[in-house]
């Protein structure tokens, strides 16, 4: 009896399970929404259970793709229903993003099925989503920035491309009349006008398709170098109220690559050139003062299949005055295919009163194939800011009259003193110095307003006992309460007793100094002196340095055969507390005659602390931390050793 009861219970459970499984799933209704491309349409599906008293645990809902006239809306995702009871229909909602596709009703099928029994218990229901007739477009450029940038020179033609996508539901055809802009935006003050034209216009841009439009920029001759920007409006031809815009930035620059950016002689874009330029330093917008050195660090990559001999050239340009300020060029360097190399170049910003803080300054860099710039060339540029120091005075236009004299004659030195600082300068003193000719002259104190200059002159007589030779005259402006000074040098040739500076035998020599080879470390200067014997016979020379601001330098003696050249190094180290612009005179003597002379100027840094010798400024924060930590640790160890080994008092 117990066994029968147990089997009855099991049978009943199986029967209940079987009856539940054959419940009837029914889709009562589905709405058919509509919408414009880009909008969201909501579909509501009402599902019910047609068998009384039985629940369906899970109902799976799926949708087919929706199609119209060969176009498709992909099947949307629909959520399942849990515990579908007989007495309570359930509504499931899902969203469809209306695509940019042909306008019309897109038809599909909704299927509801019992999970695990889909084949026997399911129901389908047709529905549709209508894409309304809608006109729209969207413009995108190939630039990484918000604007489309076109760079070119005077009297040139440049092209660029941008995309116009049909984001509506009606096919359109772009024409030249679809593009509108204000021509004055691309005209300079003299009426020179940049003209724009648009080509590669597809005859039929279907919904969702994109037309890549070519923009041609015709830059006239003699147009002002400047940036010209304006809004380009693109109209939908089916409805001119439906528009999109983009910013066009046309940058007229001086000629950089002679034939523009080229690869194998063909015009191309910067990204498609074989030679790729990466300006590592300086950064766009970095600030410099007059007299500063711009240390340019660029990486050049060769994306060609063959090695290329590469030259890098850079120049600083005043865009407002249309004037090149300073330039520099590297040596040629071979870069292997699919390889890259670094180039380091220095440009010294002149201390020139004509440089205006409010002007736009651009540093242009080009990399080209040595001897074949018209075949392979690429260019890049960054903007830098030039600032003026509060206190800055220079000496300019030095004139020595006459510049060749005899012993005892009178010499007049005329020069300009200019205030190139950001504020007025008071108590300036002009000076003329030549220790060899016993010239030590100072002017009275005078003032200069900002951007003002004054002419100064000194007159002196060459000593009657002066030796024949070339002498350096140093003209100095001392300012900022004597804390700063600026100097320039000019040569004076003295001929006495019918002799010239270069005797015929036994003492003639040349002195060459390449200032770019001078190694600078703080206020120390290692100077290479290249001395050549031109005397026609073996000669002995003595090299002496006259620099009262530096630690004494012992005379150097060397003997050279006729025509022989030797390079010696002189180390100049500034005395403690010396700062500003200082000069040094290097003389080469033979038989007590000065046979060669050279004057140099040096910009000394201010006083530094003992920490400066570690050059902490060039180290990372973590490196500085560990240096300090090591010092503290050493001090701690010394203190512990003291406690251990020294007797207690």
- Separation CA 89–CA 25 (nearest Å): 10
% of residues, the chain, pLDDT over 90: 53
3-state class of 82 per DSSP?
Answer: strand
pLDDT tens profile 492-520 = 999 875 444 443 334 478 888 877 788 88
Q: What angle do CA 609, 612, 613 make, to 5 degrees?
A: 110
- Separation CA 168–CA 170 (nearest Å): 6
Half-sphere exposure of 210 (CA within 13 A, CB side): 9
Half-sphere exposure of 436 (CA within 13 A, CB side): 25
Q: Token pair of 389, please?
A: 């120091």
Q: What angle do CA 473, 477, 481 make, to 5 degrees?
A: 145
CA dihedral for 252, 254, 257, 259, sign (positive or negative): positive
Residue 6 has pLDDT above 80, yes or no: no
Query: What is the structure's pLDDT at 548?
Result: 81
Q: Which one, of 417, 303, 421, 318, lies nearest residue 363 by Cα?
A: 318
Query: What is the structure's pLDDT at 354?
Result: 80
Q: What residues pair up with 327 in beta bridges, in sequence order?
A: 315
* Inter-residue contact 584 to 599 (CB < 8 Å): yes
Query: How far is residue 51 from each of residues 62, 88, 298, 355, measured CA to CA in Å?
Result: 22, 12, 79, 92
* Inter-residue contact 593 to 496 (CB < 8 Å): no
Query: What is the structure's pLDDT at 124?
Result: 95
Residue 608 has pLDDT above 80, yes or no: no
How does DSSP assign 267-330, residue by residue?
A: E--GGGSSEEEEEEES-TT-EEETT-EEEEEEEEEE-SSS-EEEEEEEEEEETTTTEEEEEEEP
**Mean pLDDT for the chain overall:** 85
Query: What is the structure's pLDDT at 134?
Result: 96
Q: When comparing pLDDT for 618 and 430, which is higher?
A: 430
3-state class of 540 per DSSP?
Answer: strand
Q: Token pair of 484, please?
A: 């700063």
Residue 231 has pLDDT above 70, yes or no: yes
- Tell me, rounded to whole angstroms, the distance of Cα 125 from its chain centroid: 62
* Inter-residue contact 347 to 279 (CB < 8 Å): no
Mean pLDDT of 39-51: 93
Alpha helices in 138-229 (DSSP H): none
Q: Look up residue 579 and give its DSSP letter.
A: -
Residue 645 has pLDDT above 90, yes or no: no
- Tell me, rounded to whole angstroms, the distance of Cα 18 from its chain centroid: 76
Mean pLDDT of 273-279: 94
% of residues, the chain, pLDDT over 70: 88
Q: What angle do CA 146, 147, 153 make, to 5 degrees?
A: 150
How does DSSP assign 434-483, residue by residue?
A: ETTTTEEEEPPPEEE-TT-EEEEEEEEE--TTPPSEEEEEEEEEEETTTT
Q: Which one, of 518, 509, 496, lies nearest residue 584 by Cα?
A: 518
Beta-carbon contacts of 439 under 8 Å, excluding residues fewer than 6 positions away, are: 432, 433, 460, 473
Range scoring the smallest mean pLDDT among 102-111, 261-270, 433-442, 516-525: 516-525
Query: What is the structure's pLDDT at 8?
Result: 41
Query: What is the structure's pLDDT at 140?
Result: 82
Residue 151 has pLDDT above 70, yes or no: yes
3-state class of 78 per DSSP?
Answer: coil
Helices then strands, counting H and E runs in the chain, come out as 2, 46
Q: When comparing pLDDT for 639 and 153, which is higher?
A: 153
Range scoring the smallest mean pLDDT among 153-167, 212-226, 285-299, 545-559: 545-559
The enclosing H or E element of 613 equals none
Query: What is the structure's pLDDT at 506?
Result: 41
Residue 107 has pLDDT above 90, yes or no: yes
Query: What is the structure's pLDDT at 4?
Result: 38
Q: How confident is the model at residue 427 (pLDDT cuts 50, 70, 90)?
A: very high
* Inter-residue contact 517 to 560 (CB < 8 Å): no
Q: When comparing pLDDT for 547 and 637, which is higher?
A: 547
Q: How confident is the model at residue 570 (pLDDT cuts 50, 70, 90)?
A: confident
> Which of 118-127, 139-148, 618-627 has the highest mean predicted lDDT (pLDDT)?
118-127
Query: How far is residue 471 from each of residues 92, 461, 468, measured CA to CA in Å?
Result: 100, 13, 9
Q: Which one, of 108, 49, 110, 111, lies nearest residue 82 by Cα?
A: 49
* Inter-residue contact 135 to 205 (CB < 8 Å): no
pTM over 0.85: no
Q: How confident is the model at residue 16 (pLDDT cuts 50, 70, 90)?
A: very low
Q: Which one, of 289, 270, 474, 296, lies nearest residue 382 by Cα?
A: 296
Residue 309 has pLDDT above 80, yes or no: yes
3-state class of 9 per DSSP?
Answer: helix
Residue 3, Ramachandran bin (φ over 0: left; ψ between -120 and 50: alpha; else beta): alpha
Q: Look up residue 515 and give its DSSP letter.
A: G
Residue 385 has pLDDT above 90, yes or no: yes
Query: What is the structure's pLDDT at 642?
Result: 66
Reported in sequence order, the residue ranges of 468-613 that DSSP labels E, i.e. its strands, are 469-479, 484-495, 509-512, 519-521, 524-533, 539-546, 556-560, 565-573, 580-590, 593-604
For residue 566, the tally of other CB atoms under 10 A from its CB is 13
Mean pLDDT of 322-345: 93
For residue 331, the tally of other CB atoms under 10 A from its CB is 9
Mean pLDDT of 366-395: 92
Q: When comparing pLDDT for 345 and 604, which is higher?
A: 345
Residue 92 has pLDDT above 50, yes or no: yes
Query: What is the structure's pLDDT at 568?
Result: 86
* Inter-residue contact 357 to 390 (CB < 8 Å): no
- Separation CA 316–CA 176 (nearest Å): 39
- Separation CA 260–CA 159 (nearest Å): 12
Query: What is the structure's pLDDT at 338?
Result: 93
Backbone angles phi and psi of 625, in degrees to 5: -60, -45
Mean pLDDT of 156-165: 91
* Inter-residue contact 55 to 114 (CB < 8 Å): no
Query: What is the structure's pLDDT at 606?
Result: 58
Query: What is the structure's pLDDT at 571?
Result: 87
Residue 435, Ramachandran bin (φ over 0: left; ψ between -120 and 50: alpha; else beta): alpha
3-state class of 642 per DSSP?
Answer: helix
Q: Is the peptide bond before 601 cis (omega within 30 degrees of 0)?
A: no
Mean pLDDT of 1-25: 45
* Inter-residue contact 339 to 349 (CB < 8 Å): no
Query: What is the structure's pLDDT at 2?
Result: 46
* Inter-residue contact 434 to 421 (CB < 8 Å): no
């Amino acid at each position: 009896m117990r066994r029968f009861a147990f089997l009855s219970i099991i049978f009943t459970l199986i029967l209940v399970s079987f009856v539940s499984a054959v419940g009837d799933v029914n889709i009562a209704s589905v709405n058919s929404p509509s919408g414009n491309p880009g909008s969201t349409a909501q579909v509501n599906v009402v599902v019910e259970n047609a068998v009384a008293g039985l629940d369906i645990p899970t109902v799976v809902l799926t949708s087919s793709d929706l199609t119209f006239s060969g176009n498709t809306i992909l099947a949307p995702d629909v959520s399942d229903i849990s515990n579908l009871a007989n007495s309570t229909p359930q509504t499931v909602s899902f969203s469809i993003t209306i695509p940019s596709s042909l306008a019309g009703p897109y038809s599909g099928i909704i299927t509801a099925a019992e999970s695990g029994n889909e084949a026997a218990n399911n129901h389908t229901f047709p529905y549709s989503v209508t894409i309304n007739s809608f006109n729209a477009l969207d413009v995108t450029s190939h630039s990484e920035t918000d604007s489309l940038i076109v760079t070119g020179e005077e009297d040139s033609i440049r092209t660029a491309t941008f995309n116009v996508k049909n984001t509506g539901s009606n096919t359109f055809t772009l024409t030249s009349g679809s593009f509108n802009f204000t021509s004055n935006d691309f005209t300079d003050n003299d009426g020179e006008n940049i003209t724009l034209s648009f080509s590669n216009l597809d005859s039929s841009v279907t919904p969702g398709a994109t037309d890549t439009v070519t923009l041609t920029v015709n830059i006239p001759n003699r147009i002002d170098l400047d940036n010209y920007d304006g809004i380009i409006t693109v109209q939908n031809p089916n409805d001119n109220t439906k528009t999109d815009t983009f910013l066009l930035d046309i940058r007229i620059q001086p000629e950089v690559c002679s034939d523009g950016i080229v690869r194998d002689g063909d015009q191309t874009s910067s990204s498609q050139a074989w030679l790729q330029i990466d300006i590592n330093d300086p950064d766009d917008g970095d600030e410099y003062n007059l007299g500063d050195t711009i240390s340019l660090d660029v990486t050049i990559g060769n994306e060609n299949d063959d090695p290329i001999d590469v030259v890098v050239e850079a120049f600083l340009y005043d865009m407002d005055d249309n004037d090149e300020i300073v330039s520099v060029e590297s040596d040629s360097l071979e870069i292997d295919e699919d390889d890259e190399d670094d180039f380091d170049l220095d440009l010294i910003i002149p201390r020139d009163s004509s440089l205006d803080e409010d002007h736009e300054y651009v540093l242009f860099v080009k990399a080209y194939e040595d001897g074949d710039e018209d075949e392979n060339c690429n260019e890049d540029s960054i903007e830098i800011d030039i600032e003026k120091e509060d206190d800055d005075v220079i000496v300019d236009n030095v004139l020595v009259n006459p510049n060749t004299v005899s012993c005892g004659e009178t010499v007049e030195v005329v020069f300009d003193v200019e205030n190139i600082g950001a504020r007025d300068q008071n108590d300036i003193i002009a000076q003329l110095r030549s220790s060899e000719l016993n010239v030590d002259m100072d002017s009275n104190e005078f003032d200069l307003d900002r951007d003002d200059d004054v002419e100064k002159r000194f007159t002196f007589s060459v000593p009657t006992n002066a030796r024949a030779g070339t002498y350096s005259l140093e003209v100095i402006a001392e300012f900022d309460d004597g804390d700063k000074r600026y100097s320039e040098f000019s040569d004076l040739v003295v001929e006495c007793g019918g002799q010239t500076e270069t005797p015929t035998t036994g003492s003639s020599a040349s002195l060459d100094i390449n200032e770019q080879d001078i190694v600078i470390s703080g206020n120390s200067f290692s100077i290479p002196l290249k001395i050549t014997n031109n005397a026609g016979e073996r000669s002995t020379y003595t090299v002496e340095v006259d620099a009262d601001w530096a630690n004494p330098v012992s005379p150097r003696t060397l003997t050279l055969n006729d025509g022989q050249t030797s390079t010696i190094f002189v180390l100049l180290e500034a005395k403690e507390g010396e700062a500003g612009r200082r000069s040094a005179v290097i003389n080469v003597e033979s038989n007590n005659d000065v046979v060669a002379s050279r004057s140099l100027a040096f910009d000394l840094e201010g006083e530094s602390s003992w920490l400066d010798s570690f050059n902490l400024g060039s180290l990372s924060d973590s490196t500085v931390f560990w240096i300090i930590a090591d010092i503290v640790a050493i001090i701690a160890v010394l203190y512990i050793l003291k406690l251990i080994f020294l007797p207690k008092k």
